[in-house]
């Protein structure tokens, strides 16, 4: 923020140009809206300050409280989701944030032993602590972990073709049509995976390794 008047508030973008709030990115506006809402709620209990009193908002590191944020990832680009937790902790170091999310990027910012999974069963919601430290984990690793419980992060069509290929490979005998299908699936999957710099055989070995790790080595 570089200019504040009774009629306007201006910010400086990455290139040094002064822009209005409407010209900022959606992610920046969402983050700014969240911070301003937090400041308003943290300031309200203080009441009216007397002349000469120090404004506690001038020393944000002294503000304390517990803040609940539901669906923190809504409307945020993944690049902002990755930074949200670190930025909030930097601005409000003595505030505890309890956040719900469906984003692995938000989960990456959780403190050790700070991850909990909500399960709904027959209208009853249970809370389970997830025994893992997200530090150093990639988004894929979190999505494939017990935290999110996905079996794959690929598109559903590619995953179905890989499962079909595995089923054909596991058969003791195959018909001529199945042999042709197996060959066609291998060629198609190799082409798809090469686009992302992968190899079908290596990918299958990695998937098996992940399955063993998730199953405790069984």
Boundaries of every domain in the chain: 58-141, 156-214
Dump pLDDT digits (tens) for 31-52: 778 777 877 776 665 555 455 5
Burial 27-45 (b: 16+ CB within 10 A, else e): beebbeebeeebeeebeee
Q: Is the separation of the CB atoms in 55 and 45 below 8 Å?
A: no
Q: Which of 196, 207, 195, 194 is nearest to 165 (CA)?
A: 207
Give the model's pLDDT for residue 6: 56
pTM for this model (two decimals): 0.69
Work out the number of other CB atoms within 10 angstroms of the CB of residue 101: 20
Give the model's pLDDT for residue 217: 46
Give the model's pLDDT for residue 177: 95
Q: Is the separation of the CB atoms in 189 and 158 below 8 Å?
A: yes
CATH 3.40.50.300 fits 58-141, yes or no: yes
Work out the number of other CB atoms within 10 angstroms of the CB of residue 55: 9
Give the model's pLDDT for residue 216: 53
Please provide residue 136's backbone torsions phi and psi, each rounded to the nearest 5 degrees. Answer: 85, -10
Give the model's pLDDT for residue 120: 83
Give the model's pLDDT for residue 45: 57
Q: Which residues of the chain have pLDDT under 70?
A: 1-8, 13-14, 42-59, 196-199, 201-218
Give the model's pLDDT for residue 27: 72
CA-to-CA dists, residue 4 to 14, 126, 154, angstroms: 19, 47, 47
Give the model's pLDDT for residue 116: 92
Structure tokens, 205: 């070995």
Give the model's pLDDT for residue 123: 81
* Residue carrying the six token digits 């079909």: 164
């Amino acid at each position: 923020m570089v200019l504040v008047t009774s009629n306007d508030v201006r910010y400086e973008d990455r290139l040094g140009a002064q822009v209005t709030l409407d010209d900022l990115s959606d992610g920046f506006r969402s983050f700014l809206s969240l911070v301003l809402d937090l400041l308003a709620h943290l300031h309200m209990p203080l009441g009216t300050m007397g002349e000469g009193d120090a404004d506690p908002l001038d020393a944000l590191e002294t503000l304390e409280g517990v803040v609940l944020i539901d669906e923190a990832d809504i409307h945020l680009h993944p690049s902002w989701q990755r930074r949200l937790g670190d930025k909030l902790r930097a601005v409000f170091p003595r505030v505890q944030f309890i956040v719900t999310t469906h984003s692995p990027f938000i989960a990456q910012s959780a403190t050790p032993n700070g991850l909990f999974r909500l399960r709904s069963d027959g209208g009853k919601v249970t809370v389970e602590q997830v025994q893992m430290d997200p530090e150093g984990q990639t988004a894929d690793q979190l999505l494939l972990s017990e935290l999110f419980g996905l079996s794959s992060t690929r598109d559903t069509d590619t995953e179905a073709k890989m499962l079909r290929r595995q089923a054909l490979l596991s058969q003791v005998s195959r018909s001529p049509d199945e042999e042709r299908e197996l060959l066609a699936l291998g060629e198609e999957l190799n082409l798809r995976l090469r686009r992302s710099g992968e190899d079908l055989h290596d990918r299958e070995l990695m998937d098996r390794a992940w399955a063993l790790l998730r199953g405790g080595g069984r």
